[in-house]
Amino acid sequence: MIESIVVERIVSRRDFGTIFSGRTKDGATVRVRADRNALMGVPEVGQIWSVHGEIENTTWGAQVKASRAVHALPSGRLMIDFMSRSVAGIGPGRAQRLWERFQERLPEALDVGDVDHIARVLEPDRPVLGPRLAAALVATWRKMAGEARLVEWLAAVGVTDVRLARRIYTLLGDEAPSRLQNNPWCLVPLLSWSKVDELGLRVARENGITVPQALPQRLTGAADAVVKDLIALGSTAIKTEDFRSKLATKLETTGNSPILGKAFALATERHAVVPAIEGLLRAPGCAVMEDHLAARLAKLARQGPSRQLRNVLDGIGANFGALSEEQALAVRKALSAGFTCLRGGAGTGKTHVAREICRLWEAAGGNVLLAAVAGKAALQLSRSTGRLARTVARTLHQLDERARIRNELAAHSDPDEREKLEARLRDLAHADENTMAIVDEASMLDLSSLHGLLRRLPNGARLLLIGDECQLPPVNFGLLFHRFVRDQRITATLQSVHRHSAASGIPVVAGLLRRRQMPNLALYGTSIRGVLLLPADGRDDIADKVISTRQRLLGQSEVMVLTPVNDGPCGVAGLNRRLHDDYVARTELQELRGPLGDLFSPGEPVVHRRNDYRRGLFNGSVGRVRRIERSQRSLTAVFDEEEHVFAGDELVDLALGYALTCHRAQGSEAKNVIIALSNSRLLDPSWLYTAVTRASELAVLVGQEKTIEEALGRPYPEDRRVVGLNWPPASEAQPTGHR
């Protein structure tokens, strides 16, 4: 059903959305529940909302469950109500004055937006107040009208996703419908190619174009779609011949067709790709970020230590206390420039060195900003340095929040209000010209995260990346740390293993895996330490043995379960379900079912599945369920000590977190680690090495030796990704003998 409803009462406004009651055109009273994702704006009393949805029966009676609710444009005398309610300062009197002057042409006058004219009608004798009210009214009207017209346009072409509409409006503004009408293929970054192409062809035909297949907009859109695909695989560049071949596939044509030639020419002409050296074509958006960060980091790398830092280092001489000679050298090297990297395998004491770097930097009058890509890695960094570390995502979010509050402070003179705002600043991440930002597990640091961090760091702030290039690459696009550590001028290397005792045998096995050599593994049951093999044949057998081994080890100490795949009985979902059932059987707690069938109970670990900039949560953020409310279909979970409510369809963003993929476990450590060796192309040397080195005492590989051999036969991800990063930038490059 679709209804125009005048909102009469806001029943409830919560994180998940709004429940309101109102009246239809026929005068019937109706109650509407609209989740946040279905709402285009925030309903207020007196507004007209166009509601799409189905009627459902609830304990409060019948209500419409809105699949889409959009603020509808008022007309006629309802304009008076709209104006007096929507803009502070325009009461009924001024609204009436405008209506009397413009009558039915008022919407048109607001569209034109002649602020001076409207101000004269609103307040002829107040030359200061009048224009301000008029400008606010025009802005409010345009935003609402723009959104409503865009939603109407999108609905007409079959796109009904309110979140998408909201995003397009933010990106394109009032002109969104006309821009989309002109080039629907511009939506490639936001929608799949098949959907965009279908939409584009339909719109073009409606515009009277009988053969739209060869339209330049479509051909450029296809090139954009190829670029999108390569970014999805983690690359930021592509070989020219590969690009041509994928473009032909996208356009469903052959390699020598005229349309492909035209599309290829348009791709470079309209910057769908940027030609680079060695026959590579770069993704333009990624190229912008890569070039920007390379230039900034090259400049930083030229900055030497400050006078205070030199004094501190001179003061301690060679006396680095508990640090080994190699570690002491690494400390000096890491502090020698504004941008450096610290690399080393598992157990070489990277975080130990990081702690000493923090201490010296602070002694020289600086401050540190500690971050890691994954939540568990951030926790580990906090523990090992004795200083607060956050996830990179949370750091970026807090730096933005700090900037926002600073702006608010500039506008507030009330001492009470200022005190409240200043109190909120105290716990937020901070960066100034004396900051050294240290990012651990940097092999997983993707292009957008580092770009985002750098643009939030003020000039003068320094950067240290710590990691192991043999561990997993970033989940998202780009490859940075792996490239930076090839430059010995900025890289300190740790090679001696300290963490794992020789008796555990883990360092020896890890070293072999790192070199892609097959280790000779003892069988599980013959020892309680080291890297052991528990033979299992087939996915069900692997799953059974993972579960039984976990139950056996759980009573003794912490256990981590890792698997390379998401689906199937020994994938993340299958193992999580079995472990959840086991948990519920033991605790008898209630459970809540999410839209994808996942079940959650209080106390269980959860993982966030996508980047949500509004919440400051990212794909892989790890939290724990605090409570569930089955009647509201909502769940409250704690991430980084902050509560987040997920209601209705928002639960799709959560998954159980008993069993993890290796990416989510990187940076964390457990006494016992169980590794499901399911056949997967993701099983490669970096995956195996990362998984095994999560264990401090015991790593149990559940599966077959053959699977390990196959994994070691695959190349490192670094060799599979094609990236366009130029490091060091051409102007900085030294003769090869130096490197």
Partner 1 sequence: MSRSIVPLVLEKLDPYLEQQAGSWATQPEQGRHPTLPATADGKINVRQLVRDLGFKETIEQHFYRKPELSGPVNAVAVEQGLKPIGSRAQEDEAYAAVRVIVGRNAQELSDLRRELSEREALIEALRNENGRLQARLGLLEETGMTLRYARDD
Binding-site ranges for partner 1 (CB under 8 A): 113, 115-116, 119-120, 127-128, 130-132, 134-135, 138-139, 167, 170-173, 179, 182-183, 185-186, 188-190, 220, 224, 227-228, 231, 236, 270, 283-286, 288-289, 447-448, 451-452, 477-478, 611, 613
Q: What are phi and psi of 117, to 5 degrees?
A: -60, -50
Closest separation in Å from C-beta 186 to partner 1: 4
Give the span between the Cα atoms of 609 and 621, in whole angstroms.
8
Give the pairing of strands 642-647 and 634-639: antiparallel
Closest separation in Å from C-beta 270 to partner 1: 6
Tell me if 369 sits within 8 A of 387, measured CB to CB: no
**Which residue type is seen at 451?**
H
Q: What is the DSSP letter of 91?
A: -
Closest separation in Å from C-beta 279 to partner 1: 21
- CB closer to partner 1, 119 vs 330: 119
Give the span between the Cα atoms of 259 and 215, in whole angstroms.
10
The owner of tokens 């069988």 is 523
Closest separation in Å from C-beta 219 to partner 1: 12
- CB closer to partner 1, 47 vs 236: 236
Q: Other C-beta atoms within 10 Å of 713: how many?
A: 11
What's the token pair of residue 166?
Answer: 């909201």
- CB closer to partner 1, 273 vs 702: 273
CA distances from 214 to 157, 210, 250, 555, 737 (A): 21, 11, 13, 66, 51
**Which residue type is seen at 381?**
L
Closest separation in Å from C-beta 448 to partner 1: 4
3-state secondary structure of 342: strand
Give the span between the Cα atoms of 97 and 101, in whole angstroms.
6
- Report the half-sphere exposure of 62 (CA within 13 A, side-chain side): 6
- CB closer to partner 1, 23 vs 270: 270
- CB closer to partner 1, 477 vs 646: 477
Tell me if 388 sits within 8 A of 364, measured CB to CB: no
- CB closer to partner 1, 216 vs 729: 216
- CB closer to partner 1, 219 vs 562: 219
Closest separation in Å from C-beta 195 to partner 1: 16
Please give the full DSSP string across 436-481, using - where no structure is assigned: EEEEESGGG--HHHHHHHHHHSPTT-EEEEEE-TTS---SSS---H
- Considering only CA atoms, which of 54, 50, 53 is closest in space to residue 74? 50
Closest separation in Å from C-beta 220 to partner 1: 7
Give the span between the Cα atoms of 692 and 670, in whole angstroms.
10
Which contiguous run of DSSP H or E holds residue 623? strand 622-629
- Could you tell me how many residues make up the chain? 739
- Considering only CA atoms, which of 267, 284, 280, 200 is closest in space to residue 259? 267
Closest separation in Å from C-beta 629 to partner 1: 31
- CB closer to partner 1, 287 vs 711: 287
Contacts 24+ apart (CB under 8 A), 412-417: none
Closest separation in Å from C-beta 372 to partner 1: 19
- CB closer to partner 1, 197 vs 684: 197
Closest separation in Å from C-beta 391 to partner 1: 16
- CB closer to partner 1, 166 vs 498: 166
- Considering only CA atoms, which of 105, 84, 82 is closest in space to residue 93? 84
Give the span between the Cα atoms of 18 and 523, in whole angstroms.
58
Closest separation in Å from C-beta 498 to partner 1: 37
Distance between terminal CA atoms of the chain? 68
Closest separation in Å from C-beta 129 to partner 1: 9
- CB closer to partner 1, 84 vs 236: 236
Closest separation in Å from C-beta 427 to partner 1: 24
What residues form DSSP beta bridges with 612? 617
- CB closer to partner 1, 504 vs 726: 726
Q: What is the DSSP letter of 34?
A: E
- CB closer to partner 1, 188 vs 372: 188
Alpha carbon 8 to its chain's center? 38
- CB closer to partner 1, 172 vs 276: 172
Question: Which residues, including other chains, have CB under 8 Å from residue 57's CB and lie 6 or more apart?
Answer: none
Closest separation in Å from C-beta 131 to partner 1: 4
- CB closer to partner 1, 284 vs 602: 284
Closest separation in Å from C-beta 715 to partner 1: 23
Question: Which residues, including other chains, have CB under 8 Å from residue 411's CB and lie 6 or more apart?
Answer: none
- CB closer to partner 1, 102 vs 583: 102
CA distances from 504 to 470, 532, 534 (A): 21, 10, 17
What residues form DSSP beta bridges with 645? 636
Cis peptide bond upstream of 284, omega within 30: no
Give the span between the Cα atoms of 328 and 326, in whole angstroms.
5
Closest separation in Å from C-beta 118 to partner 1: 8
Closest separation in Å from C-beta 282 to partner 1: 11
Tell me if 326 sits within 8 A of 496, measured CB to CB: yes
Q: Other C-beta atoms within 10 Å of 734: how many?
A: 11
- CB closer to partner 1, 20 vs 141: 141
What residues form DSSP beta bridges with 124? none
Give the span between the Cα atoms of 356 and 490, in whole angstroms.
18
Closest separation in Å from C-beta 728 to partner 1: 22
Q: What is the DSSP letter of 428?
A: S
What's the token pair of residue 344?
Answer: 């080393």
- CB closer to partner 1, 175 vs 581: 175
